[in-house]
Structure 1
Amino acid sequence: MLVGVPLMVTPSSIYLLNHSVGKPVDTAFKAINTQFEHWQHQVEPWPLWLESVDHFRSQLARFMGGEASQWCPQTNLSSALTKLLFSIPRPSGCKNRLLLSEDDFPSMVFVAKQAESLGYQLTFIPKGLDLSLFANWEAWIKEDIALVFISHVQSNTGRQLPVNALCQRFKENGTYTIVDVAQSAGILPIDVMGWQADAVIGSCVKWLGGGPGAGYLWLNPQTTSDWLPKDVGWFSHDNPFEFDPHHFQYRDDALRFWGGTPSVWPYTVAAAAIAHWQQVGVERIRAHNLELLALLRNAMPEQWWVSPVDAARCSGTAIIHAGAVMDALVEALAQANVAFDRREYGLRLSPHWTNSKQQIADLAQWIEQGVAKLGEQSKF
């Protein structure tokens, strides 16, 4: 309960950490068991292993667009971004700046700093600027921007950035675009071919519930031939089973970014998860998410709600800051077994398809009753 306030409704075990780690789907267990059984009883497991990775790539294409050949498995986003940065043609002349935001996930910023060794100069859009509004980008779209990193959803602000418009505008500017969909894949509709970014990177550990280790990158076929990764291995080779140490030729698709001997289990789990959400439909998932967000928003003072309200600008995550009673709200949610976390801008709560309307309605009623009894203490 909210500290010092007796309430009649007490929600319990409500998982709202989908922005961090999504829950696994039932079919993932069956998929991984099949892999282990095959490995144990068959002489040669590689054919099924590679088939599993191909299945992962196909599911990504079905879910977010493009063709399977344009998708490449990656260990995580940091590795994917590193490979991309060191593959892009070096900046030349005065067009040498890499643009990103101080509200981007820190791991991405750590990687971006390594690009300084390639001749890039980093330019940061200041923290706190509302980049869900396209107008706030205009001052930063300059001729010297060679590359821009765009977070489709900012993890700490709950803001959805106008990726389609940004990709078009930066393309007109002659700027490479890399889009991070880690916080949006599985909760927002994504069409990589519609965006026409140069590259898209993401992870399955969050809304997709695909577990850790199943990262990915999408490479625009128009830029594939020009982007030559330095971090390669035998699976980056056009013929991995040629076994000629004196001959290497990049694959002609996104798998040139694959590298050495691949892992298999993460992609097996993730492929099962993506297939599950494909059957549900991301439009239905998003509509359900917006309905649950509205229930939460209507249960608390307007000033508590930090993330955008407009569906075109909000992500799947509610960012809430309760002002003077913030610590009381944190303690109360924890006591009620609500799974959430806290970052710089406030609490993060992310309702998913797996959360029922009744479950969130109970939580909303519980919060609403607490706010009413706290009275003026709940306001700034």
Structure 2
Amino acid sequence: MHADKFSTLEEGIYLLNHSVGRPPVSAYQQVQAGFIEPWKTLTNDLWSRWIEEIDEFRKATALLLNASWQDVCPQTNLSGALSKLLPALPHTSGRNVIVYNEQDFPSMGFVLNQAQRTGFQLRCIPTDSDPLDLQVWDDRLDSSCACVLVTHVQSNTSVQVDVAGICALAKKSGVIPIVDIAQSVGVTEIDLSQWDADFVLGSCVKWLCGGPGAAFLWANPDIIEQCQPTDVGWFSHADPFEFDIHDFRYAEGVLRFWGGTPSVIPYVVAANSIKLIAQIGVDQVRRHNLALNQRLLDSLPEKVAICPVLPELRGGTAVLNFGQQQSTVEQNLLDAGVHFDSRPTGLRLSPHIYNNNAEIDVVTETILGCLKH
């Protein structure tokens, strides 16, 4: 389904979409039109043209999330965005605790660890706690907390948490919710108006098939004017082309988090891919992904599923652990030409809109062949 719109592999079964999505076939042409040709032909107005391309990225991202594009700021990656965000948050005396989950992506945890150098303290929800239980979050959100990092879909387990519920608990306690949607955007429908988050961080390299280097920070307009980032550059300025070294003024809104000279190509590529995913429909991507994963899970013993069996609690990835047979299963899948990866929790298989039933059946037959021995 829609395989003709993406550069899929000539051989093998690609199920690494939780890591890097396949590029649209139109990506190369879009880079030529949106980056190379303006570079070849324009002079003084080149940056204006490139900023238009980046604005297309902001608009495409906002449309996907039911948000205003003026509230979307381009970023390079999520950890970089979080590094900019934490020291810029409005400070309230007595609030210096950051709540996070041990199953958050390690790169985000690294940023949180460094934040302790600036006075923050960390409060971790351990792996053996159930992130689907709102009481687990409520027990850790109190008047000492500055913010909470909420990972919409966990990369190691594919657990999809109740973001709206957690944000409501955070707001009740005066805590700033920061939501990581790297593993969910493009494969689950997201409506930011339903979450009441203060900040949302995402990237395009996975389910959005936009390649690395194009990430984004969405900020709630109700809080953004209270934020004073120190990691700034000329594109964080109210008038980037004013060029007065003695006069820095924050850009209005979220663009104060932009920084110095931006890359352009990643956003040209990503804007094109986001528009393609939107044209197909995230709802259709979601239905297709759920159907293929369910086809896989229904064919295997339930005990091997590390990911939630209930589809409404699961992201886009099937996470499977076969115990003592794990290495045998992994080797046989590799021999069958299946592209996947493994984490301590289990092997990860992530079908996208360009995968099909026949590919999932190869995976299932390969696994079952191992389990019979």
User: One fold, TM greater than 0.5?
Assistant: yes
User: RCO higher in 1 or 2 (8 Å CA, sep ≥ 6)?
Assistant: 1
Query: Match of 1:356?
Result: 356
Letter in 1 for 2:76: T
Q: Distance in 1 between matches of 2:108 and 2:366?
A: 38
Q: Distance in 2 between matches of 1:359 and 1:22?
A: 17
Partner SS state of residue 86, structure 1: helix
Q: Distance in 2 between matches of 1:74 and 1:168?
A: 27
Query: Match of 1:6?
Result: none
Partner SS state of residue 363, structure 1: helix
Q: Distance in 1 between matches of 2:117 and 2:370?
A: 54
RMSD: 1.4
Deviates more, 1:49-58 or 1:106-115: 106-115
Letter in 1 for 2:48: P
Which string of whole-angstrom CA distances, capped at 9 and with x for unpartnered residues, describes residues 242-274 of structure 1?
Answer: 111121111111111111111100000000000
Written as runs of structure 1 = structure 2, the 5 A alignment for 1:140-179 is: 140-179=140-179
- Give, in angstroms, the shift of residue 241 of structure 1: 1.0
- TM-score, normalised to structure 2, is 0.94
- Give, in angstroms, the shift of residue 305 of structure 1: 0.8
Letter in 1 for 2:18: H
Query: Match of 1:136?
Result: 136
Query: Match of 1:46?
Result: 47
- Give, in angstroms, the shift of residue 237 of structure 1: 0.7
- Give, in angstroms, the shift of residue 370 of structure 1: 4.2
Q: Distance in 1 between matches of 2:69 and 2:275?
A: 14
Asked whether the 8 Å contact 2:333–2:363 carries over to 1, the reply is no
Q: Distance in 2 between matches of 1:235 and 1:38?
A: 20
Which ranges of 4 or more aligned residues in structure 1 deviate by more than 6 Å? none
Letter in 1 for 2:354: T
Q: Distance in 2 between matches of 1:137 and 1:96?
A: 17
Which string of whole-angstrom CA distances, capped at 9 and with x for unpartnered residues, describes residues 58-91 of structure 1?
Answer: 0001101211110000011111001100101234
Asked whether the 8 Å contact 1:158–1:317 carries over to 2, the reply is yes
Which string of whole-angstrom CA distances, capped at 9 and with x for unpartnered residues, describes residues 301-325 of structure 1?
Answer: 1111111011221110111001121
Q: Distance in 2 between matches of 1:170 and 1:81?
A: 18
Written as runs of structure 1 = structure 2, the 5 A alignment for 1:1-380 is: 13-34=12-33, 35-44=35-44, 45-93=46-94, 95-371=95-371, 373-374=372-373
Partner SS state of residue 100, structure 1: strand
Q: Give % identity.
A: 45
- Give, in angstroms, the shift of residue 369 of structure 1: 4.4
Q: Which structure 1 residue ranges, 5 or more long, are not aligned?
A: 1-11, 375-380
Partner SS state of residue 311, structure 2: coil
Which string of whole-angstrom CA distances, capped at 9 and with x for unpartnered residues, describes residues 318-366 of structure 1?
Answer: 1100112111101001111101111010001111111012321333244
Q: Which structure 2 residue ranges, 5 or more long, are not aligned?
A: 1-10
Which string of whole-angstrom CA distances, capped at 9 and with x for unpartnered residues, describes residues 148-200 of structure 1?
Answer: 00111111111111101111111111001100011111101111222121100
Partner SS state of residue 218, structure 1: strand
Instruction: Count how many residue pairs are aligned between Structure 1 and Structure 2.
Output: 361
